[in-house]
Amino acid sequence: MRFSSEAKALFMATALAESRKALPACLPNPPVGCVIVSDDEILSRGFTGVPGAPHAEASSIASLSYTGSATALSAFVTLEPCAFQGRTPSCAIALIDRGIWSVFVGIIDPDPRNNGKGLRLLMDAGVRVELGILEQEISEFLCPHRLALANAARSGRDWNSEEELVDDLP
């Protein structure tokens, strides 16, 4: 499915709005949002849950009741789908297994376990990937969280609230 620039921006803005719902419960994970679309209609939405709960993509897939062809489905995700299995399965593989035809990504996840690996998994599976939709807006939203999370990885610190996370910025 081809989307106009305006439609891509609208769907990614909706995914960004979903990502804001993740805070502060998702911490220390990044707040990510996802919407799954077919024929210019949003079919499901999701955001990252508490640590150990489904990420945005898995949450969106779980709430999808679509029974048509998966080749008609596109996902809009604010942050690159994870490539690794941690407390939850790989989101990139979940999108592949669901048969999502195209994935639009706001920004690459700088976490060394991802950092392009999720995109590569998708592309190697034949999924059409487009990067950089609302990149500036998403970067501005995620930047404080990414900086604090990188700092936490070095220090081993965890937070109980978004305010603590932001207060801990270098």
Q: Known catalytic residue: 57?
A: yes
106: which 2 tokens? 């706001």
45: which 2 tokens? 């939405």
CA angle 42, 80, 38 (to 5 degrees): 20
CA angle 162, 158, 117 (to 5 degrees): 90
pLDDT at 72: 86
The CA distance from 130 to 77, in Å, is 10
The CA distance from 119 to 64, in Å, is 22
Spatial strand order of the sheet with 74-79 comes to: 41-47, 33-38, 74-79, 102-107, 128-131
Q: Which residues contact 142 (CB under 8 A, 6 or more apart)?
A: 19, 30, 31, 78, 79, 107
pLDDT in tens, the chain (170 residues): 689 999 999 999 999 999 999 998 988 888 999 999 998 999 999 999 998 899 999 999 999 988 877 678 999 999 999 998 777 788 999 999 999 999 999 999 888 888 899 999 999 999 999 999 999 999 999 877 665 555 555 555 444 444 444 444 43
Is domain 5-135 in CATH 3.20.20.10, yes or no?
Answer: no
CA angle 92, 54, 141 (to 5 degrees): 80
Sequence ranges of the domains in the chain: 5-135
Of the candidates 57, 80, 135, 162, the residue annotated as catalytic is 57
